[in-house]
């Protein structure tokens, strides 16, 4: 199961279930995908085939939606997950 949190500018922001407990979000676009840590600060965890410009834009979107992403994480996984 991988619930979509939101879609914006051609990217899908979602979680994988049964993955590591550290809060993060996966992002999929037509050119590739990435994973961003949400805590303790927003940081790129992994990139597959996205350009530096795409990563910068995605990071900006993650920053803009950080509170929404963390709230969705807590709803999906429970408040106890880190």
pLDDT range class, residue 80, cuts 50, 70, 90: low
pLDDT tens-digit profile of 7-65?
999 999 999 877 788 999 999 999 999 999 999 999 999 999 999 999 999 999 999 99
- Tell me which residue of 47, 44, 45, 42 sits closest to 67, measured CA to CA: 42
Give residue 82's pLDDT.
47
The upper half-sphere exposure of residue 80, i.e. CA atoms within 13 Å in the direction of its Cβ, equals 0
Q: Which residues contact 40 (CB under 8 A, 6 or more apart)?
A: none
Tokens encoding 28 = 């999929």
CA 63 to chain centroid, in Å, comes to 10
Instruction: Read off the pTM.
Output: 0.91
State the first-to-last Cα distance of the chain, in angstroms, to the nearest integer.
Answer: 19
């Amino acid at each position: 199961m991988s619930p979509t949190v939101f879609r914006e500018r051609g990217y899908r922001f979602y979680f994988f279930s049964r993955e590591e407990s550290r809060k993060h979000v996966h992002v999929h676009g037509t050119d590739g995908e990435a994973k961003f840590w949400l805590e303790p600060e927003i940081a790129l965890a992994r990139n597959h085939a996205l350009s530096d410009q795409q990563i910068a834009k995605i990071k900006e979107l993650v920053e803009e939606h950080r509170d929404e992403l963390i709230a969705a994480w807590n709803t999906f996984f429970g408040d106890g997950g880190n």
